[in-house]
Amino acid sequence: MNDHRTDSEHAAAIPGEFRADPGLGVDDGELIDGFTLTELEDYVEAGREPRRSDIESSPDALRMVVGLEQVMALTRRAVDDADALPQPSIDWFDRIRGFLSREVRSGQALPLRHELAEDALTVDEAAVRSYLRAVVDGIEGVLTVRTHFVGEVTRLDAPVEVTVIISTAYGQPIQPRTRRVREEVSRVLSRHTDLNVVSLDIRVTDLHSSEGDGDE
Amino acid sequence: MVNRRLLDAPDRILVERSQDGDDAAFDIIIRRHSAKLLGYARQILRSTHEADDVVQETWVTAWRTLSQLQNPEALTGWLMRIVSNRAIDRIRAHRETASLDLLDNAGPDHERPDARAMVSSDLSQVRRVLGELPDLPRQCWFLREVGGYSYEEIAEQLEVSHSTVRGAISRARRMLITRLEGLL
């Protein structure tokens, strides 16, 4: 894909030979056991596939191939090794929170049943979901992953299917937890919304480490 | 109050919760990944101030577009990509305001430190050597190796030819292999 030999302007003029842009001076023409450095770079770029036995059997060429792979790996490690990098200051994080606080995401308005007022009463879907998460997270060994309300939630009495996806802690029985989640979700929805919940599905998609459980 | 379990939760759970609108989960993602993103942005831009701006913009973009992240496991690569795009904007803006010769500026590549002096080095030394690369080779190298861009994409984004990108990356690689010889 990155073969310079397909670079038409050069390929036409100097077949089979690499010429870099003038000024970069990248190719010094030095041969490593008969291979140009460019040739070895191409091989590394291609992930050493297809296997070139001529390169693989030359100790000098192979040393260069491994060296090239190592500088690639070192670059990624230098970036990935976040532990060695200074953490940003609290102010820095606060500034980002400031930016994000302007990015309000509100949900749909869920209508509430009431007899007195002429004005419609509603509760914000995002607030309900946030509260659901907090309640479900409060159950030992359970972490909320997602909540879904499917149906015309903005129309009173429209059938709504609710799905709550959870992660449970490793090594803990799942059944009692899904039962608790079901009870808590039902309680929250019936107390704080007038959704006509026709089905409530609790799904476990994930297991998480139990670290942090029980000592909040 | 931050839920302890959430602090320890894997990225994939935090991503899904954030997509669901949970700003506390997103806050943990920010705390977990900012140092790495800043490190990358500083390396590519060689400016702490600009790197700060780029990463802050990245988090706003990430929050707005998180629903587009289909595979929560791919979070890090996705974030790196946003940082890369933002950094590219800065690089282009610089080029427009200052008529620098990007092909051959500033790099102290005439200095050739003794490779043997690096034997006892660590990643901070790798970072220093990376930071000493001239602008275009450094930018292309990071976009390729960390940002995951193809040569074609780099050429298009930085508005240079494919062969210039190829040459710049080759130059970066050769300088690194010379200067990091003691670590290899």
Chain B within 8 Å of A89 (Cβ-Cβ)? no
Query: What does the pLDDT read at residue A212?
Result: 53
Nearest CB partner across the interface for A82, out of B39, B162, B177: B39
- Span B87-93, mean pLDDT? 89
Q: Report ipTM for this prediction.
A: 0.74
What Rg, from alpha-carbon coordinates, does chain A have? Answer: 30
pLDDT tens digits, residue range B23-32?
A: 999 999 999 9
Is A78–B130 a contact, with Cβ atoms under 8 angstroms apart? yes
Query: What does the pLDDT read at residue A151?
Result: 94
Is A76–B145 a contact, with Cβ atoms under 8 angstroms apart? yes
Residue B181 has pLDDT above 90, yes or no: no
pLDDT tens digits, residue range A30-84?
A: 788 899 888 898 899 889 999 999 999 999 899 989 999 999 988 888 887 766 6
Residue A216 has pLDDT above 60, yes or no: no
The residues, any chain, with a CB within 8 Å of residue B106's CB and separated by 6 or more, are: B100, B134, B135
pLDDT tens digits, residue range A184-195?
A: 999 999 999 999
Q: What does the alpha-carbon distance between residue B123 and residue B135 come to, in Å, rounded to a whole number?
A: 20
Both tokens assigned to A53: 């036995």
Residue B176 with chain A: CB contacts under 8 Å: 71, 74-75
**Which residue, A120, A107, A86, is CA-closest to A149?**
A107
Cβ pair A213, A141 in contact under 8 A = yes
Query: What does the pLDDT read at residue A139?
Result: 93
Chain B within 8 Å of A26 (Cβ-Cβ)? yes
Residue A20 has pLDDT above 60, yes or no: no
Q: A168 by DSSP, 3-state: which?
A: strand
Residue A11 has pLDDT above 80, yes or no: no
pLDDT tens digits, residue range A98-149?
A: 888 888 777 788 988 877 666 678 899 999 999 999 999 999 889 999 999 9
